[in-house]
């Protein structure tokens, strides 16, 4: 212990700090008040309250107004939300967000789980490959998206590869094609997050005792049966964490779209986060933008809650 005696800068040697020899150790058992002081938490609580609750509540209020950032805000009821779902571009953004998020969750988790199963044990290169495959996770998703923008560019790597293997007929301007542009954005998301899901599944697999798998194998269980009935139940918590995390990240997709397509061609790759940015901060339509934000918040909270509910129940 580094503290031997009260030093000069500590509070004046007030009575409460003096050991009271009359009391036994048991009598001196700690009261709840002895671990720090309540007010130590106040700066953080004030910040969290202002930024996460107060500001969000104000934002929620704006979504029912036509506020433009200046002047007074007029209450317009649910007009903004009606407008969102009647505007084909906004409805498209909602649909794109959901499609991207769902495909992303499924593919990123399946590939991540496959890599985790492959690199769990036995393979000699497993430590090196884990470190390399996780590397994209720590990078800026904006920077990563620029790499993929070049890969999918007209003069880019994918078309060059297709030419090299004699598949010129497959070449196209990927990011100018509404369907392929979405696929390209999903690809970046998946590529950057496979390392993350892999690491979560590896942590889950580490909790499955090898003896159980061996026992099942001795009893004649096939590889699939071992996975289905021994491994899967053991990694249920990891599945809950990885799918929820990827779902929330997928619904918030922003950087990848801004870097690769800017929402184009003709809004084909717009997502909720990109239209929130454009309407609110570029066009200054704060009321409408707040309504879009509230829609996004709604999807994220419902999705995360639903996800946790079904994965908990299975568990």
Partner 1 sequence: MFRYTKLTLVREIGVVLAALVMLSPFYILIATALKPRQALLTTPAISWPETPTFDAFREVMGEAGSSGVWQGLMNSLIITVGAVAGLVAIGSITAYVLARKLSKVSNVVYALVIAGIVVPPQLGLIPIYTSARSLGLIGSQWGMIVLYIGMIMPLSIFLYAGFVRAIPREYEEAATIDGASKFKVFTRVIFPLLAPATGTVAIMTGLVIWNDFFNALIFLQGTDAATLPVFMYGFVGSLTSRWDLIFAVVIISMIPILTFYLFAQKKFIQGFAGGIKS
Using CB under 8 A as the binding rule, the residues of this chain from 1 to 30 that contact partner 1 are 1-6, 10-11, 17-19, 28, 30
- Whole-number Å distance between alpha carbons of 280 and 282: 6
Residues 185 and 257: beta-carbon distance below 8 Å: yes
Contact segment (CB under 8 A) with partner 1 among 90-98, 166-174, 228-236, 287-295 equals 287-295
Note whether 199 binds partner 1 by CB under 8 A. Answer: yes
Residue with tokens 């002081």: 37
Q: Which of 156, 178, 234, 267 binds partner 1 (CB under 8 A)?
A: 156
- Whole-number Å distance between alpha carbons of 138 and 134: 8
Q: Which of 78, 87, 91, 140 binds partner 1 (CB under 8 A)?
A: 140
- Whole-number Å distance between alpha carbons of 78 and 64: 6
Note whether 248 binds partner 1 by CB under 8 A. Answer: yes
Note whether 138 binds partner 1 by CB under 8 A. Answer: yes
**Residue 65: beta bridge partners?**
75
What angle (nearest 5°) sits at the alpha carbon of residue 311, between those of residues 272 and 203? 95
Binding characters for partner 1, 29-68, by CB under 8 A (x = yes): -x-x-xxxxx-xx-xxx-xx-xxxxxxx-xxx-xx-----
Note whether 84 binds partner 1 by CB under 8 A. Answer: no
Three-state DSSP state, 128 = helix
Note whether 133 binds partner 1 by CB under 8 A. Answer: yes
Residues in the chain: 315
Q: Which of 259, 268, 269, 271 binds partner 1 (CB under 8 A)?
A: 259
**Residue 75: beta bridge partners?**
65
Note whether 243 binds partner 1 by CB under 8 A. Answer: no
Q: Which of 217, 227, 232, 265 binds partner 1 (CB under 8 A)?
A: 217
Task: Give me the least distance between CB of 303 and partner 1, in Å please.
Answer: 10
Q: Which of 91, 118, 302, 310 binds partner 1 (CB under 8 A)?
A: 118
Note whether 172 binds partner 1 by CB under 8 A. Answer: no
Q: Which of 181, 194, 235, 268 binds partner 1 (CB under 8 A)?
A: 194
**Residue 253: beta bridge partners?**
none
E strand segments, 120-237? none
Instruction: Provide the terminal-to-terminal Cα distance of the chain, rounded to the nearest Å.
Output: 43
Helix axes 286-314 and 79-86, enclosed angle (nearest 10): 80
């Amino acid at each position: 212990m580094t503290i031997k005696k009260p030093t000069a800068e500590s509070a004046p040697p007030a009575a409460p700090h003096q050991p009271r020899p009359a009391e036994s150790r048991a009598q001196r058992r700690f009261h709840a008040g002895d671990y720090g002081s309540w007010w130590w938490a106040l700066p953080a609580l004030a910040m969290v309250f202002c930024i996460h609750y107060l500001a969000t509540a104000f934002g929620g209020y704006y979504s029912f107004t036509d506020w433009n950032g200046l002047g007074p805000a007029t209450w317009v009821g649910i007009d903004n939300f009606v407008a969102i779902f009647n505007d084909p571009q906004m409805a498209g953004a909602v649909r794109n967000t959901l499609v991207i998020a769902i495909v992303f969750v499924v593919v990123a988790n399946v590939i991540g789980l496959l890599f985790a199963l492959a690199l769990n044990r036995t393979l000699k290169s497993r430590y090196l490959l884990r470190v390399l495959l996780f590397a994209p996770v720590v990078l800026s998703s904006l920077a990563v998206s620029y790499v993929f923008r070049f890969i999918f560019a007209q003069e880019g790597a994918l078309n060059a590869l297709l030419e090299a293997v004699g598949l010129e007929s497959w070449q196209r301007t990927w990011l100018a094609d509404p369907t392929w542009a979405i696929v390209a954005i999903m690809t970046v998301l998946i590529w950057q997050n496979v390392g993350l899901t892999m690491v979560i599944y590896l942590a889950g697999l580490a909790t499955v005792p090898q003896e159980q798998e061996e026992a099942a194998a001795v009893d004649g269980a096939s590889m699939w049966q071992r996975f289905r009935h021994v491994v899967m139940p053991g990694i249920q918590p990891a599945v809950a964490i990885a799918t929820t995390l990827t779902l929330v990240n997928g619904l918030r997709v922003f950087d990848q779209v801004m870097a690769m397509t800017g929402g184009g061609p003709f809004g084909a790759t717009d997502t909720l986060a990109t239209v929130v940015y454009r309407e609110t901060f570029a066009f200054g339509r704060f009321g409408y933008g707040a309504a879009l934000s509230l829609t996004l918040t709604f999807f994220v909270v419902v999705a995360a809650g639903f996800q946790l509910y079904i994965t908990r129940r299975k568990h």
